[in-house]
Amino acid sequence: MDFLSNIILAAAACGAAVYCFVLSRRLTALSSLEGGMGSAIAVLSAQVDDLTRTLSTAKAGAGQASTDLAKQAARAEAVAKRLELLVASMHDLPTTPEPDLRAPPSRWTGEAAAPARERAAETGQPRARILRRRRDVGDAG
């Protein structure tokens, strides 16, 4: 019986040795950098580094875009205020267009304009007033 227990013990030791050898090979394959878990960890680590760099670049770009957008919004508000002032000032303009005083039509020259010139000379009105009166005289005549 002693002999039988020694044979069973030796067989169990040989089985444990084979089991340890298989586990050793699997662990070596798992931790190798070429095709096991080590390579997967190395690839994931590289991807994390790339993502970190990409994230920092995106944050910088978003910050710059936010700054530019704020500047453009401020400029737009300033332009909107100016436009509001211009629209408000449009209410003060006369509804009829002002006559062009630079070049009088040919019908104002000659004898038709003489009474207007005389009246302007009597009242001491400036040249612009003379032209307006000429136009009034020309429209009436």
Q: Two tokens at 50?
A: 């790339």
Q: Is the domain of 116 the same as that of 74?
A: no
In this structure, is residue 65 part of a structural domain? Answer: yes
How far apart CA 112 and CA 128 sit, in angstroms, is: 17
Q: Examine residue 118 and state whether it is found in any structural domain, yes or no.
A: yes
Distance CA 48, CA 42 (A): 10
Specify if 99 maps to a domain.
Answer: no
Q: How many domains does the chain have?
A: 3
Q: Please give the structure tokens belonging to residue 120.
A: 């302007």
Predicted pLDDT of residue 126: 52
In which residue ranges of the chain is pLDDT below 50? 128-130, 132-135, 141
Residue 10 resides in a domain: yes
Residue 100 lies in a domain: no
Asked if 23 and 50 sit in the same domain, the reply is no
Q: At what angle do helices 127-140 and 114-123 cross, to 10 degrees?
A: 140
Q: In which domain, by residue range, is 130 found? A: 105-141
In a shared domain, residues 75 and 43: yes
User: By the 8 A CB rule, do 133 and 120 touch?
Assistant: yes
**Residue 97 counted as domain residue:** no
What is the pLDDT at residue 69? 96
Domain contains 96: no
| Alpha-carbon gap, residue 64 to 82, rounded angstroms | 27
pLDDT score of 92? 73
Predicted confidence at residue 30, as pLDDT, reads 72
Please report the pLDDT score of residue 141 as a whole number.
Answer: 46
Are residues 40 and 71 located together in one domain of the fold?
A: yes
Q: Are 45 and 67 in a shared domain? A: yes
My answer on whether 41 and 71 are in the same domain is yes
Q: Are residues 116 and 71 in the same domain?
A: no
